[in-house]
Structure formats: structure tokens, C-alpha cells
Amino acid sequence: MISNKTVLITGGAGFIGSNISEKLITQNNKVICLDNFSTGKRENIAKLLTNENYTLIEGDIRDLETCKKATKGVDIILHQAALGSVPRSIKDPITTNEVNISGFLNMLVAAKDNNVKRFVYAASSSTYGDSKQLPKVEENIGSPLSPYAVTKYVNELYAKVFSSLYGLEVIGLRYFNVYGRKQDPNGAYAAAIPKFVKAYINYEAPTIHGDGTQTRDFTYIDNVIQANELAATTSNADALNQVYNVACGEETILNDLLDQVKTLLSKFDSKISKVSPIHIAERQGDVRYSLASIEKAKRYLGYKPSHTFAQGLEEAIGWYWENLK
């Protein structure tokens, strides 16, 4: 557990960053949020703004001076800021590159220059690319299938270089399809679960790309918070300067996901049970099958998911019902 530290969370107003912030602020930490609100939302952090131990810096990681200002006096950086979404990166690879690579490099430089002890960053399961191996093991990756995947792999390369050249303690966390409270269901690049939930609540047919037999290792937000805290506080020297899968180690077929979401929501509103999904063309750049091995994270970080997929989904559906309907 992170406590009595000054922690910078980049992308701190985003889905993941704001959830981490809420947890850390209850544990006697000083939390600094750096966000430009391109995808983050002010309502995600509204309750934190009046806390004397919480500081918001509205700024962009593409600006090195902003990064240097934000990292002064910081013990730990939890770098969540990124321009996510495979389809968005295909449509606009330049901006994705600027944010995810140049911005990431700025943060590494700022951390080095301000002698920040630990740098934990959000990596991505997209790095596995066209690798057909299941489950996905950290040391075996394929070729990237999208500009987004390229940027996240480059992050890992830069992290390794900064670790070896400058002695920065860096840990990367390859997130697998994170879901949970505060995840935005709106917009062209919204994640699958909140989009499906919103559609069902509105009695609209959820849209699924392809035949729905694709699989994902859906990961509840509380598991991600746990992994960040473990990575930020580990004293195991062998755990440093590594990359870890953060997932449940469960493979879920998208068609089955839709059925589970419908069943859970139908407990609140029986009319939802009559809504059926529609299938459209497959999406460019998507990985077809995804399942993580979490053995490395268990061994080196002591990671143990607090929520299975089913447990997390039930909690998430309860939150969505209260906040989206």
C-alpha cells in the first residue's frame, strides 16, 4: 500500500487515474494530478479538488517544462496519461505518437532530472500484436497491429534504456481491457463494456465488431489499482525494470460478455432482456484472441487479483446502473 508519499498521477482525471487517485488520497498521501482533459473528465476528480492533499496541474505531457514542474518533490510517478484506442491511432497516428511517445519521453526525462525514485507506467496488451501464443507471456511478443501498439512498445524500450543508463527504477504494467466505475461510455472510442451497458440501458442494440467469438481478458479497475501500488512499493530488486501483465487470467468470449451484461442489467429492468446485439464488420488492428499469464506479476510483485471477471462485472454493472440511466 502506498502511504505517506508524494505521488504524481499523469492522466489523473481519466478513468484509471482518477480511481487510483481516490484510493491514494485515503492513505495519507499527497496526490498531484497532471491532465490536459483531452480525454480525462473534471467530474472524475470533482470530489478530490477540495482536499488539501490533492493538487491539480492542468497541463500537457507534450510540454517538457510542464512535466518538470509536475515532478518536483515527487516520490512516485504513476504514468497513466496516453491517447488510447486502436481505431483512434489508425485515424490519427501522428497525435497518438506525439502523446504516447514524445510525452512519455518527456516524463522519463523529468523524472530523471528531478531524481524521482520510482516510475510506474501503463503499458498495454496491444504490444502482443499478432502473436498467437495463449496465454500471453511477457517475454514473447509479436509484431504490432496498430500505431497505438507501436507507441506502447516504444514506451517499454525507452523505459529499459532509462533504467540501464540513468538508474531510474521503472516498472511497466501491461493492462488487459480494464473496465469499471467512471469508464466513459460515450464517443467513438469508448471501451466495449460501458458502450454495451449504455446501449442496453437505452434499449438499443449493442454493436459488436465481427462474429463475437473474439476473446478478451477483462480486468476490473481494483486489480489495476492493486498492481500500481505493488509496483510502486516493491522492495524486491528483481522486480524492478520489468514489464508485467495486469489481468485476471480469464478468457471471455465477447458474445458471452454481452449475455452476462444483459442478464445483470435485466435484474434492474426486465425489458432489457428483449434487446439483442447486432454484428458489423471486423475492426482494423484488433487482436482476435487475448488471454494473459499473470504468473510473473504474482511471483515478483505479489499480485493477486481481488476480483474475478464475474465479480468485477457485477460491481461495475451496479455502478453503471446508478450513474448512466
161-178 confidence digits (pLDDT tens): 999 999 999 999 999 999
Please state the rounded mean pLDDT for residues 246-250. 96
The verdict on whether 148 is a catalytic residue reads yes
pLDDT tens digits for range 44-101: 999 999 999 999 999 999 999 999 999 999 999 999 999 988 899 999 999 999 999 9
Range of the domain at 42: 6-179+219-247+292-307
> What is the mean pLDDT of the segment spanning 119-129?
96
Quick check: is 18 in a domain? yes
pTM, two decimals, is 0.94
Domain CATH number, residue 110 = 3.40.50.720
For the chain, how many structural domains are there in total? 1
Considering the domain boundaries, does residue 260 fall inside one? no
The answer as to whether 257 is a domain residue is no
pLDDT of residue 186: 86
> Which of 89, 236, 108 shows the shortest CA–CA distance to 163?
108
Whether 204 is in a domain gets the answer no
Q: What is the pLDDT of residue 282?
A: 86
User: Active-site residue among 148, 175, 220, 289?
Assistant: 148
- 189 pLDDT higher than 70: no
Average pLDDT, the chain: 95
186 assigned to some structural domain: no
Residue 177: the pLDDT is 92
Is residue 68 domain-resident? yes
Cell numbers of 249, please?
A: 487470467
Burial class of residue 65, CB neighbours in 10 A (0-12, 13-18, 19+): exposed
184 lies in some domain: no
Query: Is residue 210 assigned to a domain?
Result: no
Which residue shows C-alpha cell 525507452?
A: 158
Q: How far apart are the first and last CA of the chain?
A: 34
> What CA–CA distance (Å, rounded) separates 133 from 128?
9
